[in-house]
Amino acid sequence: MLSNLHMHTTLCDGKNTPEEVVLAAIEKGFSSIGFSGHAYTDFDLSYCLKDMTSYLHTMRDLQERYRSKIEIYVGVEEDAGCLLPNRSDFDYIIGSSHYARIDDSYHPIDSGADRLKQCIELCDGDPLKLADCYYCTFCEYILARKPDIIGHFDLITKYDELDTSQFLKLPAYQALAERYLKEALKSDCLFEVNTGAIARGYRTSPYPSAELLHVLKKNGGKLVLSSDCHAADKLDCFFAETRAMLRDIGFEYVYALSKGTFIKDYL
Ligand SMILES: [Zn+2]
Ligand SMILES: [Zn+2]
């Protein structure tokens, strides 16, 4: 079944209006979609929803109006650094970390390769130290908050293919990422397989890396597939290829929302 619970619109940093996204999803034959606007982060206002009340109103209205054509869920993408006061207003939350906490302040790790380099400099020029800060920030949040879905777990590798920090090539990186992944697995949350960086030309494979997907498979990790959609024409970007890749790793199904609960969607 076609489903995507990670979508952004003009209400935060997406290109299309919510209604344009709904119409594109119906056209493509999606059974369910979920909006996940970036929740407010007090330390970075550049990309988040500015008016949560109007977001909720707009989305609930669309949910009602298109009820006979498609299931629409009203979610939110919360950042590990700034918790929502009103979790119960949403059908689900995606918990993501777009920052590493370094010396008690938050620094963006996905706002450009140059910003990432600055983060590494703040960690004495040591990429592993930055990776440790990032995963530590994220895992603390995951275990305390237990979001419904863990967003793009290894986002810190976003620019690896652009020959910058190259986390994936550092011999000690994999062990560090695996250690934190096993910590995060204790939360029993769903892990997102996210094709968003492919849609935007940063990567050729989804998050998490194939290595981490193998660890998830071995340890009973549960997955959802999403495209972290910022443009209506990317709703199912790289889905067919990713489903085939997951089958090759040994997964039989991912989870998708249907009638308000997560059900198995066989690959
Ligand atoms: Zn995100
Ligand atoms: Zn997102």
- What's the CATH number for 3-266? 3.20.20.140
* Choice between 97 and 44, residue whose per-residue pLDDT is larger: 97
Residue pLDDT, tens place only, 204-218: 999 999 999 999 999
Kindly list the protein residues that place their beta carbon closer than 5 angstroms to ligand 2, a single-atom ion: 77, 228
Separation CA 78–CA 81 (nearest Å): 8
* Mean of pLDDT values over 61-85: 96
Please tell me the predicted confidence (pLDDT) of residue 165.
Answer: 66
Distance 266 CA to ligand 1 centre (A): 25
What's the CA-to-centroid distance between 10 and ligand 2, angstroms? 13
What token pair was written down for 106?
């938050």
Determine the residue type at 262.
F
Q: How far is the CA of 115 from the centre of ligand 2 (A)?
A: 18
- Residue 163: pLDDT over 90: no
Q: Are strands 71-79 and 149-150 parallel, antiparallel or unpaired?
A: unpaired
Residue 217 burial by CB count (10 A; 0-12/13-18/19+): exposed, middle or buried?
middle
Hey, is 105 helix, strand or coil? strand
* Residue in the structure block whose two tokens are 């619109």: 9
Judged by its nearest atom, the ligand closest to the C-alpha of residue 97 is 1
Distance CA 191, CA 145 (A): 14
More confident residue, 90 or 41: 90
Alpha-carbon span 261 to 264, nearest angstrom: 10
pLDDT digits (tens, 9 = 90+) for 180-189: 999 999 999 9
Share of the chain above pLDDT 70, in %: 99
Q: What percent of the chain has pLDDT over 90?
A: 86
Q: How far is the CA of 167 from the centre of ligand 1 (A)?
A: 19
Among the residue ranges 162-171, 216-225, 241-250, 251-260, the one predicted with the least confidence is 162-171
Per-residue model confidence as pLDDT tens digits over 111-132: 999 999 999 999 999 999 999 9
113 close to 159: Cβ distance less than 8 angstroms? yes
Q: What is the pTM of this model?
A: 0.96
Closest ligand to C-alpha of residue 14 is 2
Q: Are 64 and 29 in contact (CB under 8 A)?
A: no
Point out the ligand nearest to the CA of residue 228.
Answer: 2
Tell me the average pLDDT across 34-46: 84
Q: In the prediction, which pLDDT does 153 show?
A: 98
- 191-250: pLDDT as tens digits: 999 999 998 889 999 999 999 999 999 999 999 999 999 999 999 999 999 999 999 999
Strand order in the sheet with 223-226: 3-4, 32-38, 71-79, 92-96, 149-150, 190-194, 223-226, 253-258, 261-266
Domain range annotation of the chain: 3-266
Task: Write down the pLDDT at residue 182.
Answer: 98
